[in-house]
Structure 1
Amino acid sequence: MIQFPKRYALPALVGASALLLAACSSSGDAESSDSATATMSADAGSDLPDTLTLALVPSDDVNQITTDGEALATVLSDQLGVDVKVFVPDSYNAVVVALQTGQADIGFLGPIAMWQAHEEANASIVLQSVRYGSSEYVGQWLTNDPDTYCLDDVTTETDDSGVEYSYCNGATGGSGPAGADALALIPEDASISWVDATSASGYYFPATQLAGILGIDDPSSAFPNGFFAGGHPQSVQAVYDGSASIGVSYNDARSNLAEEFPDVGTKVVVFAYTENIPNDGVVVSGDLSQSAQDEITQALLDVAATDDGAAALSAVYDIDGLEAANQDAFSGIVASTYANFG
């Protein structure tokens, strides 16, 4: 039986260091006063620490994400004029703890973990990733039993590489929700392949969606035969192999297996979508001054607009660009989804 995690109870903040600004003048004349005021303004406008730590969550290859992260740190360091070091812990929650305890200043996180960092580590949500022109995505429901879960005809589309992908119940195009009637057919004892306990599209959003459709109060204990596959491609493969009759992933994780299993797109059918989910993005430590937070945020936007910065962001997390975070989405649908597991 799967045990769905509750929110982590993180230790109290150690506290922020006080920032001391001092100015002195050796002369009382207006020219000296103006000069001192200008110096103070410049200092106040750039009160970054000498070194910033950029925390990245590991993907498939820790060594590769570290290498790619160092390239990103280099261009960010050049933009800000301070040293930027990379920290790659073993989980989203480790990044949240690092932000809380002063071990990290900037974190790249998924949307649920971004809200957790905001709530439990006083981090500021500042930016969202953009992919394929959008700062939103969906979680998709997968099945190897379309006869049961496809309530209309299965349609098939072919991508530019010639791989076919099948859909039903209006779950195509990457905008949700879709397939609610089909989700109502899922029994509580179904074998469901979730992705990971920290995944928005692979756990939090679909579990909350299904619990709501089935009229279940607590999604954390509603599906005893669910299991964590460990990754989005692994969840797709669990459905492909028949280890699960139903699975979830981001849209469209089937493409990760298409080279090895050319029929994955038709054998594993997408039959429903979650609500739209804000993309992953960037949080900065709440211990930093507002001017420092603003400077880091603008620097990341500027970096994303350069060739080297764009290449580094793409290498790290396939990010096409960055934009200001949709605060309404985070305080709304992300916060309420997160609260279901509190």
Structure 2
Amino acid sequence: MKLIRHLMIATVTAASLISTAYAAPTLQFAVGMYQPTKDKNDATYTPLANYLSKKLGMPVKLRTVESWEGLAKSLANGETDVALMGPWGYVLANNEAKAQAVATIEYEGKPIYYGIMITHPGSGINSPADLKGKTFAFADKGSTSGYLIPFYYFQKQGINPDTYFSKVIYTEHPAIEAQVTKGAIDAGADYNRNRDTMIAEGLIKASDSKIIWKSDPLPNDAVAVSEKLYKDKAFVAKLQSALEDLKTELKSQPELLPPRYTGFVKSDNSYYKPIRDAGLATGRLQPK
């Protein structure tokens, strides 16, 4: 009986070790700072993380990274496996760490958006030509619409922001909108999706700001995977399928994405060529 008992214990122990050894790894899922606070950002994207966990059959740990550059670095150093990130942040991650886009998010059914410049209606500013000597806000230097695209526009106009404006600040997209509507800064760079969301949520009033410039269409935010994970083609296909299926799931679970976001479409690195070209033209991207 003792022998049998010992064998049973050994069997259970071995089974436990096997179970532990083959337990599904935790997928590190990072998102950029799309909401005014980290807590709200985490709360907004937790349903998406839970959805991916269910569809992929593995634990998914959500983490908010407060800058696009930081998100790109996290893909490079192994802290992040999958990221939802801005187009310029993605291009940086692809250039520096060979991260690969596998999907693009849709906003109101479209995989594109626009960079904008905004001012307060009482500022007397009606176009970028009126900005000389004014205070201007960019988002962080990893932002597409908040930095790269407006910087590229200024460069083509022969404008050096450091000398053209009386003061330049760098802050988060929601803060740019809030400070412009209050008149704390004269103008700033943002994107239409952020402005629309903040107006819809009552964070700012549409009447307290006006758009003085709009970019050409830009590719929406990317879902990117690390170079290592991209080599697992079966996983990539499963992830893409889960993201595409989300369009149907949103009908019964609208909380899976923030308002006005309608799903994902498959994409790849080539879709982000316009952003890469702007990065190269401004010297903000050095070819590897």
TM-score by length of 1: 0.64
Equivalent position to 1:323, from 262, 265, 269: 265
Corresponding residue for 1:35? none
Paired AA for residue 52 in structure 1: L
Corresponding residue for 2:213? 272
Equivalent position to 1:192, from 125, 136, 154: 136
Corresponding residue for 1:293? 236
Equivalent position to 1:246, from 161, 168, 187: 187
Corresponding residue for 2:25? 50
Q: Which runs of 5+ in 1 are unaligned?
A: 1-47, 151-181
Equivalent position to 1:234, from 175, 192, 201: 175
1:95 partnered with 2:74: no
Corresponding residue for 1:7? none
Change over 3 Å in CA distance of 1:233–1:102 after alignment to 2: closer
Corresponding residue for 2:45? 69
Deviates more, 1:239-248 or 1:220-229: 220-229
Change over 3 Å in CA distance of 1:241–1:254 after alignment to 2: farther
Distance in 1 (alpha carbons) for counterparts of 2:123 and 2:171: 27
Equivalent position to 1:183, from 105, 128, 136: 128
Corresponding residue for 1:153? none
1:118 partnered with 2:94: yes
Q: Which runs of 5+ in 2 are unaligned?
A: 1-22
1:211 partnered with 2:160: no
Contact 1:75 1:309 in 2 (8 A): no
Paired AA for residue 297 in structure 1: Q
Change over 3 Å in CA distance of 1:277–1:309 after alignment to 2: farther
Q: Deviations over 1:244-297 (max 9, x none)?
A: 333222126166258466xx4345322221122111120011102233222222
RMSD: 3.1
What is the Cα deviation at residue 322 of structure 1? 0.5
User: Secondary structure of the residue that 2:257 maps to in structure 1?
Assistant: helix
Distance in 2 (alpha carbons) for counterparts of 1:78 and 1:254: 31
Corresponding residue for 1:12? none
Contact 1:137 1:251 in 2 (8 A): yes
Distance in 2 (alpha carbons) for counterparts of 1:54 and 1:185: 42
What is the Cα deviation at residue 112 of structure 1? 0.5
Contact 1:304 1:313 in 2 (8 A): no
TM-score by length of 2: 0.75
Q: Deviations over 1:57-105 (max 9, x none)?
A: 2432323333443332222122122222223333322322221122221
Aligned length: 256
Change over 3 Å in CA distance of 1:229–1:103 after alignment to 2: closer
Corresponding residue for 1:10? none
Change over 3 Å in CA distance of 1:266–1:55 after alignment to 2: closer
Paired AA for residue 50 in structure 1: P
Contact 1:229 1:238 in 2 (8 A): no
What is the Cα deviation at residue 107 of structure 1? 0.5
Equivalent position to 2:198, from 250, 256, 268: 256
Distance in 1 (alpha carbons) for counterparts of 2:91 and 2:97: 10
Corresponding residue for 1:86? 62
Distance in 2 (alpha carbons) for counterparts of 1:279 and 1:222: 31
Change over 3 Å in CA distance of 1:92–1:291 after alignment to 2: same
User: Secondary structure of the residue that 1:60 maps to in structure 2?
Assistant: coil
Distance in 2 (alpha carbons) for counterparts of 1:267 and 1:185: 18
What is the Cα deviation at residue 306 of structure 1? 1.6
What is the Cα deviation at residue 199 of structure 1? 2.2
User: Secondary structure of the residue that 1:305 maps to in structure 2?
Assistant: helix
> Once the two structures are aligned, what percentage of the paired residues are identical?
21
Change over 3 Å in CA distance of 1:69–1:221 after alignment to 2: same
Paired AA for residue 267 in structure 2: A
The structure with the largest helix share of the pair is 2
1:336 partnered with 2:277: yes
Distance in 2 (alpha carbons) for counterparts of 1:147 and 1:86: 41
